[in-house]
Amino acid sequence: MKTYLLTAFGVIFLSVIMSYIVPEGRLKKTVNFILRIISITVLISPITGLFELSPSAESQIIDYEYVCEMLSENQSRLLQDKLASELGIECDVTVAVIFKDESISEDGVTVTGNFDGDEKQKILEYLGGLGYININVNEESS
């Protein structure tokens, strides 16, 4: 409040001083008009602060749910292709992507398929080496 009062006083004081300094004529009328607009803007600034113009959580410009869904689908497809090409294991992969605490992150990986021998362990080690967390490897029932 103190800052507002000092600013308002300063603008009004500057307006009075400028009205005495500027010579008569068109320039004085223009300067006085501009100074009045500035003074009015400063005086009503607390009122305009009451109306918050920032977007609410419901009217966000970015649809994070859609972004997470698209990232999840893309990451799942790429990881499925990588497992097939590098390990020779055909399986379905689902990467969970979430928006939490103002950031997008991976929440876990689920791998489903018909595995034989030590393929489950290979998948766990491979995905752990890539930095994935919350890895679930599920075997399909035939």
CATH value at residue 91:
3.30.300
Residues 17 and 70 in one domain: no
- List CB contacts of 83: < 8 A, sequence separation 6 or more: 89, 91, 93, 111, 123, 126
Number of domains in the chain: 2
Which residue range forms the structural domain that includes residue 134? 64-139
pTM across the whole model: 0.54
Q: Residue 73: pLDDT above 60?
A: yes
The pLDDT value recorded for residue 61 is 72
Q: Looking at the structure, do residues 93 and 34 belong to the same domain, yes or no?
A: no
| 22-60: pLDDT as tens digits | 888 888 889 889 989 998 988 888 887 666 555 555 555
